[in-house]
A and B are shown apart, each in its own frame.
Chain A
Amino acid sequence: MSIFRPAAIMRNLFKKPMTLQFPYEALPPVEGYRGRHLLDLEKCTGCPVCSLACPNKAIELVKVGEEEKEGKKVEKKYPQIHLGKCCFCGLCEEYCPRDAIHMTQEAMISIMDKSQAIYSPDKLSQPVG
């Protein structure tokens, strides 16, 4: 079988390459992609289901303040996520009983310093973009 194929060579010379120049062009994002989390502070009640669902123990509930409820002082707790331990499986979003935690399409979350990997509830509730 001959390896000299002039028609194929001319066709391939003028074809567009398969690759994109990354930081300047990127693939369009897809709906339902599992990226960084977004927390809705109105809906979250501090029940620990997301913390129990996480396979890597990346979610921890921290005390944010206190509030009055039926005459008693109750602690207000919200989740804090360690994105270094997170494996982006989406089980916290799936098992949350009040739909308070969602995974957005944000994937460019690289950092240089490991201490910035823990996202407090305030940082999680800021919208992306």
Chain B
Amino acid sequence: MDNEIVSILKSKFPESILSSVSEDKRIYLLVKREEFYQILSQLKEMGFDHLSDVTCVDMLAQGEFELIYHLWSHTKKIRGIVKTRIPRESPTIKSIVDLWIGAQIHEREGHELFGIRFEGNPNLMPLFLEDWEEIPPFRKDFDIREYVKREYYGEDKGYFGQG
């Protein structure tokens, strides 16, 4: 049954699917950035109605961000994992709020912590951090230890640095 879904997708989008793996109850797809929205909407029509999560991974060595979309189908009981890559210098991608309205809050978190712009998302205000002036904190080139020492354990910072 998995191979059926993957083969239908491969026949409709022959250029875009770079690699795929099918297991018992799971399918993994690596797709190109250009047609990923159409692939996700095709998956939604095929029964993947629940979006669990939108994950971002910072691949510093390759100069890219990897975005991972986790889907689940309540009727077929299969998990689908779709990955795509975007360049690190200008990270923008189309938002999937029209397909799943619950994606709005996951994309807002991705914007705050990684700095990725999701075009079409109605509200990208900061979620957890207030008055944050540094680079987005979950990127790999943000040095946490240096930040903590400077802000909380500096010479003028009294109580925290003792004991």
Contacts and interface: CB of A to CB of B under 8 A. Distances in A.
A117 interface: yes
6 contacts: A84-B163, A114-B162, A114-B163, A115-B163, A117-B163, A118-B163
Contacts of B162: 114
Interface residues of B, number: 2
A115 B162 CA distance: 8
Contacts, number: 6
Interface residues of A, number: 5
Nearest to B162: A114
A114 B161 CA distance: 12
Nearest to B159: A114
A34 B63 CA distance: 46
A116 to B, nearest CB: 9
Nearest to B163: A114
Interface of B: 162-163
Nearest to A114: B163
A54 to B, nearest CB: 17
B10 to A, nearest CB: 46
A84 B159 CA distance: 14
Nearest to A117: B163
B8 to A, nearest CB: 48
Nearest to A82: B163
A85 B110 CA distance: 32
The 6 closest A-B pairs by CB, nearest first: A114-B163, A115-B163, A117-B163, A84-B163, A114-B162, A118-B163
B157 to A, nearest CB: 15
A84 B163 CA distance: 9
A114 B162 CA distance: 9
A115 B163 CA distance: 6
Contacts of A114: 162-163
Interface in A37-89: 84
A84 B162 CA distance: 12
A126 to B, nearest CB: 22
Nearest to A84: B163
Contacts of A118: 163
B58 to A, nearest CB: 23
A117 B163 CA distance: 8
A19 B163 CA distance: 36
Interface string A80-124: 000010000000000000000000000000000011011000000
Contacts of B163: 84, 114-115, 117-118
A114 B163 CA distance: 6
B21 to A, nearest CB: 35
